[in-house]
Amino acid sequence: MGGGFYSQDVAQTFRSTTTDAFAFDAHAPGAGEATRRAVHAALDPFGKKREVNNETPIVVALDVTRSRGDDTKLMYEKLPMLMGQIELKGYVPNPGISFAAIGDATVDAAPLQVSQFEGDNRMDENLGRVWIEEGGGGTGQESYELCAYFYSRTNAVRLAKGTGKKGYFFFVGDEGFYPKVDREQVRRVIGDELPADLDSAEAFRRLHEKFHVLFIYPNKGIEQRKADIDAEIKTRVEAAGGQYANVDIRASLLWNNRNDLDLHVIPPSGEEVFYGHKKSTCGGWLDVDMNIQGETAKPVENVRWARGTAPKGRYRVMVQNYGFKEPVQTPTDFRLEIEVGGEVKHFEGTVSRSGETGPASNVVVYEFDHDPAAKRPAPAARADDPYAQYSDDVILKQWATVIPAERILRIDDPRSIIDVLLGALTILEGTSTLDGYLGDMRGRNQTEERVAEVGRALGGLGPVRHVGSVEGLVPPPPPAAKDRGGRTKRI
């Protein structure tokens, strides 16, 4: 819960003698692969709150799903620099940092990990215990709202010292959040009993009462987003032993709960390929069939014809909910990836909108003609782009509903994350101006390109004033803080 001081010597010694950062493994002898990894007990949020005694509480909440797992490793590498600059320049007084790791509570085994607030080298150990699961559901959303709810319960306002000053909270990620804080996820992951689902906007509002909340957003082009989204299907198919590549035709179905969805494909012969007839005489094969017993929240099904085997003619692809396995019978969203002759299409849909199961729930997703001898034209752009909801503009528009636009800090290079975080701290705290901080960056030999990027990200920030528990912007900014002696050195 804070206390002590951060030693650079201890930090470097720890890194030179510790080779198992991010490698915590709760594997029990004889346990199956599905139970091999677990959250470290020190980071498990279940039944816990995080209290803080430091004068400046800081939370760094890092997305550890597929697209952002390396950010946590970068934070671990640069933590000595972060703490060294805070001490050397006096950016904030007596900081205590809690690290959070955010996954997806709909599918991941580790949707939320949270460390205690610490001001000394226990931070190194805490961060190194994080399980970088690199999961996520491939939906463009992660459980940021669950993290917001957890920390809104933290005693992090410095009222005890009579200042009324809040702490600082940095989300680092590139996805949207779910619109509701799911009460069942709260019960399962955190241990609280909520009477009903909580609007995510309310969870963020409560978080703002305790912290200055900011979002550091590494920009990502739509092609990279598509690759990350599509990788989830490929990963699940291949992990389950299915054939993803070298096919004439492939239909891969992904959903994110324990219900028993089934993939049906009717080839030109009419010999339907499904769970009751997994191999057809024309070469079709359902080689992955999951959730017969509701065994996983990250299922996939796969029907494919190997290259050179798919007959000419018309195909129909359907999705069915064979049966509910979740305790609450609600509609299930799904994603379907269909490859025909090397051309890949993506579809999204919902099954069991009114609680149907079996044939009554059938959703016809796509019908197409396949001719092995035909030369395929280049795929045409679709007006109903299934990736549209994952664009930067859509994601940032959602975040702007819960965080002021000037506190959404966009960067291009993830290596700027720590520089932006430091700059936001000193500007909001009022210990330096933006120009003063950029000068500090030059003093530690950062490139002009990096300095310019950080300047763009922080250009809309200004310091806050503290009057009791009421806070607001302060014009004009105060002069830069006096250096604590000596030349700034690169740490």
**pLDDT tens digits, one per residue of 150-180:** 999 987 655 434 456 789 999 999 899 999 9
105 shares its domain with 210: yes
Residue 408 has pLDDT above 90, yes or no: yes
Residue 275 has pLDDT above 90, yes or no: yes
| Confidence class for position 367, pLDDT limits 50, 70, 90 | very high
Here the CATH number for the domain that contains residue 293 is 2.60.60.30
Count of structural domains within the chain: 2
Q: Nearest 5°: CA angle at 365, between 362 and 368?
A: 125
Distance CA 139, CA 149 (A): 21
Establish if 482 belongs to a structural domain.
Answer: no
- Return the CA Rg of the chain: 25
148 shares its domain with 257: no
- When the pLDDT of each residue in the chain is averaged and rounded to a whole number, the result is 85
| Confidence class for position 374, pLDDT limits 50, 70, 90 | confident
Q: Are 255 and 301 in contact (CB under 8 A)?
A: no
Residue 472: the pLDDT is 42
The mean pLDDT of 277-290, rounded to a whole number, is: 96
Residue 418: the pLDDT is 96
| Confidence class for position 490, pLDDT limits 50, 70, 90 | very low
16 shares its domain with 139: yes
Considering only residues 88 and 165, tell me which one the structure prediction assigns the higher pLDDT. 88
Considering only residues 158 and 63, tell me which one the structure prediction assigns the higher pLDDT. 63
- Count of beta carbons in the 10 Å neighbourhood of residue 25: 11
126 shares its domain with 189: yes
Here the CATH number for the domain that contains residue 200 is 3.40.50.410
Residue 211 has pLDDT above 80, yes or no: yes
**% helix / strand / coil in the chain, to the nearest 5?**
30, 25, 45
Residue 138: the pLDDT is 59
* Antiparallel, parallel or unpaired: β 332-340 and 247-255: antiparallel
Distance CA 323, CA 289 (A): 14
Strand partners for 440: none
63 shares its domain with 208: yes
Establish if 386 belongs to a structural domain.
Answer: no
Residue 25 has pLDDT above 80, yes or no: no
The mean pLDDT of 351-355, rounded to a whole number, is: 95
168 shares its domain with 211: yes
Which range of 151-160, 392-401, 462-471 scores highest in mean pLDDT? It is 392-401
Q: Are 324 and 293 in contact (CB under 8 A)?
A: no
27 shares its domain with 80: yes
Q: Which of 322, 341, 375 is the last residue of a domain?
A: 375
| Confidence class for position 405, pLDDT limits 50, 70, 90 | very high
Tell me the CA end-to-end span of the chain in Å, nearest whole number.
26
Q: Are 464 and 212 in contact (CB under 8 A)?
A: yes
Residue 49: the pLDDT is 87
Domain that holds residue 259: 241-375
Residue 346: the pLDDT is 86
Residue 228 has pLDDT above 70, yes or no: no
Q: Which of 39-53, 280-294, 372-386, 451-465 has the lowest mean pLDDT?
A: 372-386
Establish if 395 belongs to a structural domain.
Answer: yes
Establish if 224 belongs to a structural domain.
Answer: no
Establish if 302 belongs to a structural domain.
Answer: yes
The mean pLDDT of 174-190, rounded to a whole number, is: 94
| Confidence class for position 91, pLDDT limits 50, 70, 90 | very high
Residue 369: the pLDDT is 94
Residue 15: the pLDDT is 77
Q: Please tell me what DSSP assigns to residue 377.
A: P
315 shares its domain with 408: no
Specify the amino acid at residue 28: A
Residue 409: the pLDDT is 97
The mean pLDDT of 475-481, rounded to a whole number, is: 40
- Segment 413-443, tens digit of pLDDT: 999 999 999 999 999 999 999 999 999 999 9
Establish if 408 belongs to a structural domain.
Answer: yes
The mean pLDDT of 185-191, rounded to a whole number, is: 95
Residue 68: the pLDDT is 78
Establish if 382 belongs to a structural domain.
Answer: no
43 shares its domain with 178: yes
The mean pLDDT of 67-76, rounded to a whole number, is: 84
Kindly report whether the peptide bond that precedes residue 476 is cis, defined as omega within 30 degrees of 0: yes
Residue 221 has pLDDT above 80, yes or no: no
| Confidence class for position 266, pLDDT limits 50, 70, 90 | very high
Q: Which of 108-112, 277-281, 303-307, 449-453 has the lowest mean pLDDT?
A: 108-112
90 shares its domain with 130: yes
Considering only residues 342 and 158, tell me which one the structure prediction assigns the higher pLDDT. 342
Residue 389 has pLDDT above 50, yes or no: yes
Residue 12: the pLDDT is 83
Residue 31: the pLDDT is 42
Residue 269: the pLDDT is 95
260 shares its domain with 174: no
Residue 99: the pLDDT is 96
354 shares its domain with 415: no
Query: Quick one: how many helices (H) and strands (E) in the chain?
Result: 11, 20
Establish if 104 belongs to a structural domain.
Answer: yes
